[in-house]
């Protein structure tokens, strides 16, 4: 189970391939966003994607439950019962009215949001107004002041519309949207009748736990990142996923993660046994089949005499991409930067390149499938990992691209982050520098390519370490989850 649309997630793809090649029936439950098929079969396993869009059909039961008491007319007295056929017959027993469902306190309400226990509470006991009354006041305030202040009514109405949208997102859309998605993902997993459920990151964690309770399956959690301190996630969502992890991780049968510092942090934070570490390494069988650098599709964008600098992956803030574009302005004209990926930050980067008059030297390309990525990356002269030191997620990161560059023999320039620095210096296939300074980054790129003998030695060292840092070396730990 994975909380994305499973198109470029290399780690989840390799996990599914591992179980399918071991002879197990494997199903990937993902989220359907954009134009991707709902059902897909690939590499011996099946992919089923459920809708993530928040529709009116999902919202209506919650909105009706909250606003119904405000809009419902005053209850009338019940009609008298019709007379009996025989007036002398004794009247039958009168059914007692159903007891009114008690109202819950705020702690119980937020416990429902975190855990998703059904049925949902109606409201909580508190002196403050309920969510429905907040929304009703915001909707009707412009009409109350319009007779007194006609000129101000329009401005107040515009302000109140924004307030209604904010309240709706906070109290209705956020918890309900994720709960509806959890139910859909859990339903797909329950129909599969699994023996083992593997939840990747916190987004599908509640759905995985619910499906495990319904089927009696063992459930495993694989933390790809420090999600409660990830700079690319909004603060409200970070708190939400942190609460989900704190509630669900202690209930997991096994916990996996991507590096040793995150394993230690997870064990200390949630008081669980130290998670098993599975690195984000590519398959040696796939990277060894990559074409030669001269036959790489990346060479289509290389002009004669140019050196290609490659960054591939998600285009999001705090990845050092702004500093990398600035550094391109300090490099000679024979250096070309290729940015291969997609994300919310792409428009900002393109605008920044245009303002620096670097559009002729910076090429933006769309993402490619994981199985095609080695053929593209092998054509680069320098691989870039300029992640900035912002939050523990980046501090402890060991991204896929680090091991992909290693397998393909592409020397790297990386920022001075603990885990990346340890691996690069241990293998000796790149330069570690302060990538928050564009001038230092540009100097490191020139230094890497200045000495051909040293450059070729780095390529040889990288390929020699590929077998040690390969997915084939990580598979036994993954398959052990089926046995323990």
**pLDDT, tens digit, 9 for 90 and up, residues 260-317:** 999 999 999 999 999 999 999 999 988 988 899 999 999 999 989 899 999 998 888 8
> How many structural domains are present in the chain?
2
Q: Give every CB contact of residue 86 below 8 A, 6+ residues apart in sequence.
A: none
Residue 333 lies in a domain: yes
Residue 193 lies in a domain: yes
Q: Rounded to the nearest 5°, which phi and psi values hold at 365?
A: -125, 155
- CA–CA separation, 430 vs 453, rounded Å? 13
Of 214, 177, 170, the C-alpha closest to 3 is 177
pLDDT tens sequence across 47-69: 999 987 554 444 555 555 666 55
360 plus 425 within the same structural domain: yes
pLDDT at position 75 = 44
Residue 136 lies in a domain: no
- The better pLDDT of the pair 201, 112 is held by 201
344 plus 435 within the same structural domain: yes
264 plus 291 within the same structural domain: no
pLDDT tens sequence across 208-224: 998 998 899 999 999 99
When mean pLDDT is compared over 28-32, 68-72, 239-243, 317-321, the highest value belongs to 28-32
- The better pLDDT of the pair 250, 73 is held by 250
What CATH number does the domain containing 224 carry?
3.40.50.2000
309 plus 423 within the same structural domain: yes
Listed residues 277, 309, 325: the one ending a domain: 277
Residue 242 lies in a domain: yes
Residue 148 lies in a domain: no
185 plus 304 within the same structural domain: no
Residue 72: pLDDT band (50, 70, 90) is low
Give Cα separations from 222 to 32, 103, 256, 269, 403 (angstroms).
21, 37, 5, 16, 19
**Token pair 């997870």 in the structure block, residue:** 266
Listed residues 249, 277, 305: the one ending a domain: 277
Residue 378 lies in a domain: yes
- CA–CA separation, 110 vs 203, rounded Å? 18
180 plus 251 within the same structural domain: yes
pLDDT at position 295 = 92
When mean pLDDT is compared over 89-98, 118-127, 184-193, 233-242, the highest value belongs to 184-193
Listed residues 246, 277, 308: the one ending a domain: 277
253 plus 294 within the same structural domain: no
Q: How high is the mean pLDDT of the chain? A: 81
247 plus 295 within the same structural domain: no
348 plus 404 within the same structural domain: yes
pLDDT at position 314 = 86
Residue 349 lies in a domain: yes
End-to-end CA gap in the chain? 20
Share of the chain above pLDDT 70, in %: 74
Q: Residue 79 half-sphere exposure, CB side, CA atoms within 13 Å?
A: 3
- CA–CA separation, 162 vs 179, rounded Å? 24
Q: 383-418 burial by CB neighbour count: b if 16+ within 10 A, else e? A: bbbbbbbbbbbbbbbbbbbbbbbbbbbbbbbbbebe
Whether residue 325 is predicted with pLDDT greater than 90 in this model: the reply is: yes
* Range of the structural domain that residue 29 is part of: 10-54+173-277
257 plus 385 within the same structural domain: no
- The better pLDDT of the pair 214, 81 is held by 214
- CA–CA separation, 462 vs 457, rounded Å? 9
Give Cα separations from 56 to 118, 152, 168, 174 (angstroms).
21, 32, 13, 14
Residue 79: pLDDT band (50, 70, 90) is very low
pLDDT at position 183 = 84
Q: Would you give the DSSP letter of residue 310?
A: E
Q: Is 99 left (phi over 0), alpha (psi -120 to 50) or beta?
A: beta
pLDDT at position 124 = 39
pLDDT tens sequence across 129-176: 455 555 565 666 565 555 555 566 667 666 766 766 665 555 444 455
Q: Give every CB contact of residue 362 below 8 A, 6+ residues apart in sequence.
A: 325, 328, 336, 337, 338, 339, 353
Of 435, 463, 462, the C-alpha closest to 325 is 435
- CA–CA separation, 165 vs 143, rounded Å? 18
| Pair 408, 378: CB distance under 8 Å | yes
345 plus 272 within the same structural domain: no
Share of the chain above pLDDT 90, in %: 50
- CA–CA separation, 312 vs 282, rounded Å? 15
305 plus 343 within the same structural domain: yes
Residue 17 lies in a domain: yes
Task: State mean pLDDT over 353-361.
Answer: 91
């Amino acid at each position: 189970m994975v909380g994305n649309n499973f198109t470029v997630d290399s780690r989840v793809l390799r996990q599914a391939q591992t179980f399918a090649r071991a002879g197990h029936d494997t199903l990937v439950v993902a989220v359907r966003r954009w134009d991707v098929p709902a059902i897909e079969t690939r590499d011996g396993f099946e992919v089923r994607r459920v809708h993530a869009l928040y529709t009116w059909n999902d919202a209506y039961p919650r909105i009706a439950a909250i606003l119904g008491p405000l809009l419902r007319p005053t209850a009338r007295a019940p009609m008298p019962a019709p007379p009996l056929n025989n007036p002398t017959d004794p009247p039958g027993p009168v059914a007692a009215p159903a007891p009114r469902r008690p109202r819950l306190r705020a702690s119980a309400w937020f416990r429902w949001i975190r855990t998703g226990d059904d049925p949902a509470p109606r409201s909580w006991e508190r002196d403050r107004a309920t969510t429905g009354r907040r929304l009703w006041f915001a909707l009707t305030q412009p009409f109350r002041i319009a007779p007194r202040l006609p000129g101000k009514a329009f401005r107040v109405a515009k302000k109140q519309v924004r307030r209604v949208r904010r309240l709706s997102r906070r109290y209705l859309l956020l918890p309900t949207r994720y709960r509806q998605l959890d139910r859909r993902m859990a339903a797909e997993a329950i129909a599969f009748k699994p023996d083992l459920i593997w939840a990747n990151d916190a987004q599908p964690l509640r759905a995985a736990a619910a499906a495990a309770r319904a089927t009696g399956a063992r459930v495993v959690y694989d933390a790809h990142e420090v999600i409660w301190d990830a700079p690319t996630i909004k603060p409200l969502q970070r708190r939400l996923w942190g609460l989900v992890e704190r509630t669900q991780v202690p209930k997991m049968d096994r916990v996996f993660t991507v590096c040793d510092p995150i394993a230690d942090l997870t064990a200390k934070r949630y008081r669980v046994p130290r998670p098993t570490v599975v690195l984000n390494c590519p398959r040696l069988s796939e990277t060894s089949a990559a074409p030669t650098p001269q036959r790489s599709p990346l060479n289509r964008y290389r002009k004669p005499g140019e050196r290609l600098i490659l960054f591939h992956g998600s285009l999001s803030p705090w990845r050092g991409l702004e500093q990398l574009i600035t550094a391109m302005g300090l490099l000679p004209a024979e250096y070309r930067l290729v940015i291969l990926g997609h994300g919310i930050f792409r428009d900002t980067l393109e605008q920044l390149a245009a303002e620096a008059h670097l559009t002729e030297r910076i090429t933006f390309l769309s993402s490619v499938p994981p199985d095609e990525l080695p053929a593209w990356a092998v054509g680069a002269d320098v691989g870039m990992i300029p992640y900035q030191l912002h939050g523990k997620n980046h501090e402890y990161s060991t991204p896929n691209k680090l091991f992909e560059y290693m397998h393909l023999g592409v020397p790297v320039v990386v920022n001075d982050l603990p885990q990346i620095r340890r691996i690069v210096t241990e293998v000796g296939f790149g330069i570690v520098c302060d990538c928050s300074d564009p001038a230092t980054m540009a100097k490191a790129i020139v230094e890497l390519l200045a000495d051909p003998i040293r450059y070729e030695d780095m390529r040889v060292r990288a390929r020699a370490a590929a077998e040690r840092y390969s997915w084939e070396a990580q598979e036994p730990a993954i398959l052990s989850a089926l046995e323990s």
